[in-house]
Amino acid sequence: MTTVDSAQPASGALEPAPPTHTVIDRVLEALAALSLVSITVLLFANATLRFLFNSPLGWTEEIVTGLMLWLTMFGFVLGVRRRESITVRAFVGRLPLKVQVWLKLATDLVTAVVLLHLAWFAFQYLTEFGSDTTAYLRLPRGFFTAALPVGALAAALLVLVQLPKGREAILRQQQEEQS
């Protein structure tokens, strides 16, 4: 298994990203980093207070669980944006180029449909249970579970927007392997 659809063309030089793509990537990266740092600090503080004073913070699990959902979706959307996916090239690489292109198109379409399906059911879940509150902090759970429909919808839209680039990515990969 290997990662495909990298941002590098066959020449090895980085393609210049449009400014909006760079801003989107940087914002997603910053939000993911902030989530990860927050999770780490909260868990460290909770463990320290538990060990030193036998007085853990009961609400950390609520915040950490919610932030993990957002962190997962930030990372997932970043992976989709960068077209970093896992494929089994031992199988796909043996197929004729035309079949590879059609297979890529089909899998991207199925991926988009599945993500839209997930977004729809996550939205329904959010509207049904989003107003429930957490046990300790009494925060609406919808703040955390909103990560699921938002992330799934964003990823589905990105997959659909990137459909035309699928063929170029396969051709670029073929050229890289030949050189």
The structure's pTM equals 0.80
Mean pLDDT estimate for the chain: 86
Give 47's pLDDT tier (boundaries 50, 70, 90): very high
Q: Which of 75-84, 87-96, 110-119 has the highest mean pLDDT?
A: 110-119
- pLDDT over 60 (residue 14): no
Angle between helices 97-129 and 165-178 (to 10 degrees): 130
Choose the weakest-confidence range: 2-6, 29-33, 54-58, 130-134: 2-6
At residue 36, the pLDDT reads 98
